[in-house]
Structure 1
Amino acid sequence: MTTDQIICLLCFAFLTVGYIWRKLPMGVTALTTMALLIVTGCLEPKEALGLFSNSNVIVMVFMFIVATGLSRTQVTNKLSSLVYKISGGSFTVCFLGYMIVVLLLAQTGMSGIAVFTITYPFIVSMCEKFGYSPSRAIFPFAMVVVTAGSVLPFGRSAITYVQDNGYLEAYGFDLSQYAFGMLDRMKVKLIPVILIAAYSLTVGFRLAPKQPVLSTNGVKAKEKKEKPPLPKFKEACGYIIFFGVLIALMTAQKTGFQPWVIAFVGAVLILVTGVLNKDEAIACLPFKPMTMYIGAFAMGNALVSTGTGDLIGTLMVKALGGTTNQYIICAFFFIVPFLMTQFMSNSSALNILRPLVLMACASMGCSPLGPYLCIAMATSLGFLTPMANVTIPVAMSAGGYDQKAILKMGLPLALGISAFFIFWIPFLFPLWP
């Protein structure tokens, strides 16, 4: 183990303990960790500076302005009243309706953070309509957002299998013998996503804190209600801009526009048309989740660039030994990425482990389909720490959660769904057919 790798692990321990201990604000802990990585040479200054202009950060910032602009209109009141009426006054039915909307949006190619910032103001309004604190629903809702991608075979999800087959071919597998079909991910993931939604509606809601543990930073429906309604022109602009941004994000792959450009233009239009004034726009900027995400992303980059992630992945794959039990193999290939993705981005964990898993399958002479899906599904369950997914620090800030609160809500779900996947995937895709 190199000096850089030891330092990287110590910084990682500092970040983890800091999030749990909370003697410093979590954003301060994240940026302190980033500073330590830069000073010790584990992270290049140029790379660190680039994180502040990361496209996810830009989307996060400007989508907050667009979402707050919509919240300034009467749409959340009107839509919440309509959903309330349709649901027959049932909180569960109302909450389920918003989850179905998220499931559909997540298949279009929109990022999780875009889906969350668009939809969570409606969750806030819904909670207030039923007399609950938003802290009861925001994180359970966020768990559905994080895990809802690549379930139904339309939008970007319809071509995911082509990319998967490309990786198989690149590592020497014969596609006439081993290849994914368009519906394979749906077969694996649809039941777990339904279970995640059911858990979030019931157990997750009950385990959520009745009031925020920490101060919140997000769209607050009550504050908006106290302000006078917008003039008709500005009200209409709020609707048109928001839904225009939504459609543009859904069609971004076809039009070629970058999501951050769409969010940026939408935010500018919100200001130009007067839906929000400059003070309202500044007040809604998500500084806390932004700093948490930047620090967490810095930690993930350092794990990758120093080879620490590769080292961990290689050691764990070697630990598999010579077993031929497909459930033990799939459990191993699931648990390793599941743990890794809680502390670095899911794409980083997936990119580190994908070649190792495919090479291990080639060496064992087994089908790569099951193990490949294990790492893909495991890295989609990144919701136990703010380092796991950009949506999580935003949800923590909006709902006023600390690390202990999200572990209380998320850990039982993560363990249960992981156990389901470990038995479900090799049942559908045996390693030795």
Structure 2
Amino acid sequence: MNVQMMMALCILVFMVVMLLTHKLPYGVTAMICCVLFVFTGVLDLKTAFSGLSSSTTLMIAPMIVVASALGKTSLIHRLRGVMGKLQGKSGLLLIAGMCGMTILLSQLMGQVACISVMLLFIQTFDEDSEYAPSRLLFLVATINCLATSKFPIGMGATMPGTITSYYQGLVGPEDYLCITDFFKAGILPLIVGTIYCVLCYRLIPNGSFDKTQVKDVKDAAPISKKDEYMIFGVFAVIMLGFMFTNQLGSDITNVIPSAGLLVLIVFGVLEIPEVMKTLTCDMVWMVAGMSVVSTALSKTGVGELIGQTVLNILGGHPSGLFVSIVFCVACALMTNFMSNMGTMALMSPIAASTALAGGMNVKAVVLCCCVSAWLAFVMPTGCSGTMMAFGIGNQNPMKTLKFTLPLLALTLVALIIGINIFFPIYG
């Protein structure tokens, strides 16, 4: 082991500790790693900060802004109107409607925003009824974990690129995720999990709902029909571009979100301050930095070392089923004790390195990690959504296990089956 490998390993250990503890924002951790790569001589300055101008970052950053702009349209207001119609319903129709609404909102906004919108509806129910607010809140948070970014629309359109940034320095373009890959890997767990939630929601205990923590979520100021049509039009063009990547070429496809964002700015649909705030959010810094971490692992040979080590632990030439089980179960356990985004960022390079060392399908092993990282509904530390459900609903993690453990088992089985159907490990 040479000096560069030792330095890279030390920086990797620092990154792991920061991701596990979340003492710093993920983007800050990623940028610190980039600086350390330069100071230690592992990478030169240009390579260490190449993530800021990589095609993935240049695609994801404006895409996040455009996806967020969907929340300014009347679409959200219409969805809230549908929720109002559910108020007089009961039984499976009510629960199925709430799950469906959560799935839709989970494609258009972040976890906290989605659950905050649903809270306005949930808090109107009687605490002593079958539909106690604490029970419904936990149900919504669980569905949100299963559904977030699963469909390639809204924020979901950025997820494949975000995941790719975590390991792209280790592989070639043929192993990058396509726009529908996260959807294909996650759709079966979503279907199975939703059915379970609709049929077994009564297993969720009634907690003591704390209304003092519920903040009013105001509708965004209405925008003109012209601006709304422009947002829909730009988003549609971007989606079409992603669909025809093979015909247009990756360079054109990756720059279309930037072109669309510029159109919205030039025509006054979006204001410069709000655009700049989103373009410099923690997610963008994290994407830019993590792509460089994977490059460093590849350049120094640390990635190959990690992959070979994990492969030796798995046992030489393990079966595809065994590999998918190990990575899915490991990440599902990890994500409930650290954040889901941290789990994805930490495990994606390890998964890619293992796949390369064992001659496996890189996409398959990475997706095992990244989809299972969203099964973060067992413990309050899993993600911001479950943190809200446990906190506002005053739920006891031990008491919710009778609902969450069977759900975790079912969704893991569904994920493993789906992975081996759509992305054979040795395919």
Cα distance 1:375–1:200, how it changes in 2: closer, same or farther (>3 A)? Answer: farther
Picking from 293, 306, 316, the partner of 2:310 is 316
d(CA) in 1 for partners of 2:314, 2:386: 40
In 1, Cα distance between the equivalents of 2:283 and 2:11?
A: 20
Relative distance call for 1:78 and 1:145 in structure 2 (3 A) is closer
1:94 to 1:301, Cα distance in 2 relative to 1, 3 A: farther
1:425 shift after superposition: 8.4
Q: Please name the residue that 1:141 is paired with.
A: 144
Equivalent residue for 1:77? 77
Judge conservation of contact 1:76–1:121 (CA < 8 Å) in 2. no
Which shows bigger deviation, 79-88 or 258-267?
79-88
Tell me whether 1:357 sits opposite 2:350 in the alignment.
no
The one-letter code sitting in structure 2 at the alignment partner of 1:96 is: G
Are the structure 2 counterparts of residues 374 and 255 from structure 1 closer, same or farther at C-alpha, using a change threshold of 3 Å? closer
- Give % identity: 21
* Residue aligned with 1:52, SS: helix
Aligned pairs for 1:299-338 (under 5 A) are 299-320=293-314, 330-332=321-323, 334-335=325-326
* TM-score, normalising length: structure 1: 0.58
Aligned to 2:130: none
- C-alpha displacement of 1:301: 2.6
Q: Distance in 2 between matches of 1:22 and 1:186?
A: 28
Q: Is 1:270 aligned with 2:271?
A: no
Q: 1:426 to 1:32 in 2, by over 3 A?
A: closer
Residues 399 and 279 from structure 1, CA distance in 2 versus in 1: closer, same or farther, beyond 3 angstroms? farther
SS of 2:279's partner is coil
User: In the aligned structure 2, how far is the partner of 1:101 from the partner of 1:280?
Assistant: 21
- Does residue 381 in structure 1 map to residue 371 in structure 2? yes
User: Residue 13 of structure 1 aligns with which residue?
Assistant: 13
Structure 2 counterpart of 1:363: none
Aligned equivalents of 1:91, 1:313: Cα separation in 2: 44
1:118-157 mapped onto 2 (5 Å cutoff)? 123=114, 126-127=117-118, 130-131=121-122, 141=144, 143-145=146-148
Aligned equivalents of 1:238, 1:322: Cα separation in 2: 51
Q: 1:425 to 1:242 in 2, by over 3 A?
A: closer
1:96 aligns with 2:97: no
Q: Tell me the CA shift for residue 120 of structure 1.
A: 7.2
Q: Distance in 1 between matches of 2:277 and 2:190?
A: 35
Instruction: For residues 304-354 of structure 1, give each alpha carbon's deviation from its aligned partner in whole angstroms, at most 9, with x where no partner exists.
Output: 322222112213333455899x6xx843565268769844574x5565334
Structure 1 residues 230 and 46, CA gap change in structure 2 (3 angstroms): same
Tell whether the 8 Å contact from 2:103 to 2:143 is kept in structure 1 after alignment.
Answer: no
Shift of 1:75: 2.4
Report the equivalent of 1:249.
Answer: 242
2:30 counterpart SS class = helix
Q: What is the aligned counterpart of 1:289 among 283, 292, 296?
A: 283
Q: Secondary structure at the match of 1:309?
A: helix
| 1:230 lines up with 2:188 in the alignment | no
Q: Is the 8 A contact 1:8 1:303 kept in 2?
A: yes
In the TM superposition, what whole-angstrom CA distance separates every residue of 1:179-216 from its partner, at most 9, and x where no partner exists? xxxxxx9999764443355578869x99xxx99xxxxx
Q: TM-score, normalised by structure 2?
A: 0.59
Distance 1:73 1:19 in 2: 35
Provide the rounded CA distance (Å) in 1 between the counterparts of 2:183 and 2:255: 31
CA distance in 2: counterparts of 1:122 and 1:191, whole angstroms = 25
State the distance in 2 between where 1:186 and 1:25 align: 27
Structure 2 residues not aligned, in runs of 5+: 124-132, 153-181, 332-342, 376-381, 392-396
Structure 2 CA distance for aligned equivalents of residues 302 and 318 of structure 1: 22
Matches of 1:428 and 1:282, distance apart in 2? 38
Quick one: which amino acid aligns to residue 14 of structure 1? F
CA distance in 1, matches of 2:421, 2:256: 42
Counterpart contact for 1:60–1:117, Cα < 8 Å: no
1:47-69 C-alpha deviation (Å, 9 max, x unpaired) = 22220122332233212322333
1:34 deviates by 2.3
1:35 paired to 2:25: no
**What residue in structure 1 maps to residue 191 of structure 2?**
194
- Is the partner of 2:239 in helix, strand or coil? helix
* Residues 334/232 of structure 1: CA separation in 2 closer, same or farther (3 Å cut): closer
Q: Distance in 2 between matches of 1:80 and 1:130?
A: 9
CA distance in 1, matches of 2:88, 2:385: 26
Q: Is 1:240 aligned to 2:233, yes or no? A: yes
For 2:246 and 2:109, the matched residues in 1 are separated by 19
Letter in 2 for 1:318: N
